[in-house]
């Protein structure tokens, strides 16, 4: 029996691994276990995801909050103990968060083969902590599971061995496909009193957008402009609320009649909103992919993206962080002239099966 240990740490990680236990169960020579590092472990940020997906971590590190260095050190120390106990044949790390690189480095130092799920993505913006994590994780990984063509191109350009690179598609889409009936059954539209195709979904959390007064004032202007046309559903990050209150701007948002605040939402509710909204405004990474699969217009308030297929093939566009640029794209959507996106290759709900086929061959 070949043992695979998958390390997850934050909400985006969970969504990418929901199918592994069910799929690997059909491969008699493989066994998979999950270790949860514990950065996001409360009801709204983590537990609800495990409940909805029917997942239960096999190992918990419970590292909690702290500086990036402290968290990474705790991940490495805790994961080393798990690996000494479980003795995995392969450590699979997911995405681009701090625990991703910490786990990869742990495997490297312990002589355990490391596979990077969602490898090869590049924003070429080294001011983003995620970009550093992506680069360093790929540098010490042994196998590369790639979601889109750009990942293949980058890894080959960086000199990674072609026989270690596997274009498998996007496991995040596997979750969308597998749980679509539960998403459709969500009553979140009724709960929030919004009608399909008559509201905009917004998520904003990046420090560059919400950690300064100037950034927040621009954000308020953009929300106000959209609210002149549509209701805006805004699952708001606690840190964003804290910054708004710190700068005395919270009351301006509270006064907007067509702005609907929610706390962080469960997966099924959020996907129902994504599927039924007029368009999405975000600065997230994963939402660019989910909207591309659903062919919903997505306006990403960033100057770059590590997921270019969502722009080149999909329904995503990059928008400078200013009200005029956003208004131009909103007008395109309202007038019906916004581009029609397509679904990228291998985003078909079967990526986990392709990964399992590869694992059976390489282990």
Confidence band for 72, pLDDT divided at 50, 70 and 90: very high
At the fourth CATH level, the homologous superfamily of domain 2-169+347-362 is: Glycogen Phosphorylase B; (3.40.50.2000)
Confidence band for 168, pLDDT divided at 50, 70 and 90: very high
- The 10s digit of each residue's pLDDT in 211-254 is 899 999 999 999 999 999 999 999 998 888 899 999 999 999 99
Q: What is the mean pLDDT of residues 100-125?
A: 98
Residue 59 pLDDT greater than 70, yes or no? yes
Determine how many CB atoms are found less than 10 A away from the CB of residue 78: 20
Q: What is the mean pLDDT of residues 189-197?
A: 97
pLDDT of residue 164: 98
Residue 50 pLDDT greater than 90, yes or no? no
Residue 48 pLDDT greater than 80, yes or no? no
Residue 20 pLDDT greater than 90, yes or no? yes
At the fourth CATH level, the homologous superfamily of domain 181-335 is: Glycogen Phosphorylase B; (3.40.50.2000)
Q: What's the burial of 90, exposed, middle or buried (CB within 10 Å: 0-12/13-18/19+)?
A: buried
CA distances from 247 to 46, 236, 240, 256 (A): 29, 16, 11, 18
Confidence band for 276, pLDDT divided at 50, 70 and 90: very high
Q: Among 1-5, 257-261, 283-287, 291-295, name the one with the lowest average pLDDT.
A: 283-287
Indicate the domain borders of the chain: 2-169+347-362, 181-335
Residue 40 pLDDT greater than 70, yes or no? no
pLDDT of residue 315: 98
Q: What is the mean pLDDT of residues 39-47?
A: 57
Residue 121 pLDDT greater than 90, yes or no? yes
Residues 6+ apart with CB under 8 A from 42: none
> 336: which 2 tokens?
């019906």
pLDDT of residue 49: 65
Q: How far apart are CA 10 and CA 100, in angstroms?
A: 10
CA nearest to 326, candidates 273, 270, 280: 280
Hey, which residues are catalytic here? 205
pLDDT of residue 45: 52
pLDDT of residue 318: 98
> 152: which 2 tokens?
């293949």
pLDDT of residue 42: 53
pLDDT of residue 22: 96
Q: How far apart are CA 259 and CA 294, in angstroms?
A: 24
Q: What is the mean pLDDT of residues 69-92?
A: 97
Domains 2-169+347-362 and 181-335 share a fold: yes
Confidence band for 161, pLDDT divided at 50, 70 and 90: very high
Residue 64 pLDDT greater than 70, yes or no? yes
Confidence band for 209, pLDDT divided at 50, 70 and 90: confident
Confidence band for 280, pLDDT divided at 50, 70 and 90: very high
Q: What is the Rg, in whole angstroms, of the alpha carbon atoms belonging to the chain?
A: 20
- Model pTM score: 0.94
Q: How far apart are CA 210 and CA 216, in angstroms?
A: 5
Q: What is the mean pLDDT of residues 256-281?
A: 95
Residue 205 pLDDT greater than 90, yes or no? no
């Amino acid at each position: 029996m070949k043992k695979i240990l998958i390390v997850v740490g934050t909400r985006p990680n969970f969504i990418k691994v929901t199918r592994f236990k069910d799929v690997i169960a059909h491969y008699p020579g493989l066994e998979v276990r999950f270790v949860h590092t514990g950065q996001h472990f409360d009801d709204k940020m983590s537990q609800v995801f495990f409940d909805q997906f029917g997942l239960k971590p096999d190992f918990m590190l419970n590292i909690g909050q702290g500086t990036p260095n402290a968290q990474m050190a705790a991940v490495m120390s805790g994961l080393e103990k798990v690996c000494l106990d479980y003795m995995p044949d392969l450590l699979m790390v997911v995405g681009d968060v701090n625990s991703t690189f910490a786990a990869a480095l742990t495997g490297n130092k312990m002589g355990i083969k490391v596979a990077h799920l969602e490898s090869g993505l590049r924003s070429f913006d080294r001011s983003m902590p995620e970009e550093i994590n992506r680069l360093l994780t790929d540098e010490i990984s042994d196998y590369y599971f790639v979601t889109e063509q750009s990942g293949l191109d980058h890894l080959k350009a960086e000199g990674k061995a072609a026989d270690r690179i596997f274009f498998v598609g996007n496991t995040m889409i596997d979750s969308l496909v597998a749980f679509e009936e539960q998403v459709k059954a969500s009553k979140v539209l009724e709960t929030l009193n919004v009608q399909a195709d008559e509201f905009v979904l917004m998520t904003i959390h990046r420090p560059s957008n919400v950690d300064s007064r100037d950034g927040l004032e621009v954000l308020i202007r953009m929300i106000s402009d959209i609210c002149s046309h549509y209701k805006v559903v805004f699952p708001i990050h606690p840190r964003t609320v804290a910054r708004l209150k710190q700068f005395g701007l919270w009351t301006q948002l509270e006064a907007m009649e067509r702005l609907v605040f929610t706390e962080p939402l469960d997966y099924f509710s959020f996907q129902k909103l994504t599927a039924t909204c007029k368009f999405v405004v975000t600065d997230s990474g994963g939402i660019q992919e989910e909207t591309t699969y659903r062919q919903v217009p997505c306006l990403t308030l960033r100057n770059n993206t590590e997921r270019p297929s969502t722009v080149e093939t999909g329904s995503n566009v990059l928008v400078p962080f200013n009200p005029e640029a956003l208004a131009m794209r909103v007008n395109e959507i309202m007038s019906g002239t916004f581009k029609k996106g397509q679904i990228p290759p291998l985003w078909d709900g079967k990526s986990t099966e392709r990964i399992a086929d590869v694992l059976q061959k390489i282990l």
